[in-house]
Amino acid sequence: MTPNEKKIRVMMVDDHFLVRMGLIASINLETDMLVECEASTGEQAIVLYRRYQSNIVMMDLRLPGISGVETTKSICKEFPSAAVIMLSTYDGEEDVYRSLQAGARTYLLKSATRNELIETIRATHAGERHISPTIGIRLADRMGRPDLTSREMDVLGLMAKGRSNKEIAAELLIARVTAKLHVGNILAKLGVHDRTQAVTTALQRGIVHLD
């Protein structure tokens, strides 16, 4: 076995070059770690994982094209033992929940210290679910809430763009009364009283993002 084969082999997935280079440099400073490949898109990540099957995948949540969540889902479906660490600037409860549901072992904020990054990689490689108290609270908050249906997510996304019920109905090719019904269900599930509160709450929880 060569020295490199004894190291924790990491794949880095992030679409921002400078962020990716900074993380790679930090990880490669460790004598027991090696970033062996890097990707800037989800599509590249899937292809590279099939080739390298790295011990750890550092996955950016927001990627162009296929999202980090969808990429993680694809990799973990094909390779159930894949160890993915979701890396994000967002700490919304829905982002955390979706990431773990997709198969990520843990969720790490980009604001984490270098020590936290390294500790998380080592813990995840050892089979632990290394989740910070802050992220744990977010996940606990989310577990007790009802899921929105895919159609409700479509409607909520249009609400966040300022669309009226009439415009939502036209865009989704549904009846206006049906759009109104979906809006009502969304308000009830989010525990709010109006559309503005719904959008604000959805943004805070990471249910939707404004690109």
Extract the tokens encoding 60. 């950016």
Residue 56 is inside which H or E element, if any? Answer: strand 56-60
* Residue 144: predicted pLDDT: 79
Predicted confidence (pLDDT) at residue 1 exceeds the cutoff of 70: no
Does 118 score more than 90 pLDDT?
yes
CB 132 within 8 Å of CB 113: no
The pLDDT value recorded for residue 140 is 84
Predicted confidence at residue 2, as pLDDT, reads 59
108: DSSP letter:
E
pLDDT at 35: 98
Q: What does the pLDDT read at residue 130?
A: 80
> Which tens digits make up the pLDDT trace of 85-110?
999 988 888 999 999 999 999 999 99
Q: Are 168 and 159 in contact (CB under 8 A)?
A: yes
Q: Give the count of alpha carbons within 13 A of 154, CB side only.
A: 15
The stretch 120-141 carries a mean pLDDT of: 88
pLDDT tens track for 148-206: 999 999 999 999 999 999 999 999 999 999 999 999 999 999 999 999 999 999 998 88
What CATH number does domain 4-143 carry, 3.40.640.10, 3.40.50.2300, 3.30.70.20, 2.60.40.420?
3.40.50.2300
Share of the chain above pLDDT 70, in %: 97
Residue type for position 56:
I
Query: So what's the pLDDT on residue 4?
Result: 67
The CATH classification of domain 150-205, taken from the options 3.20.20.70, 3.90.960.10, 1.10.10.10, 3.30.450.40: 1.10.10.10
pLDDT for 69-89, tens place per residue? 999 999 999 999 999 999 998
How distant, in Å, are the alpha carbons of 63, 90, 110, 158 from that of 154? 20, 21, 28, 6
pLDDT(138) > 90 = no
136 or 173: whose pLDDT is higher?
173
Q: What is the mean predicted confidence (pLDDT) over 55-77?
A: 96
pLDDT computed for residue 148 by the predictor: 93
- CA atoms in the 13 A half-sphere facing the CB of 122: 11
Residues β-bridged to residue 39: 13
Domain-by-domain residue ranges, the chain? 4-143, 150-205
Residues in the chain: 211
- Mean pLDDT value across the chain: 93
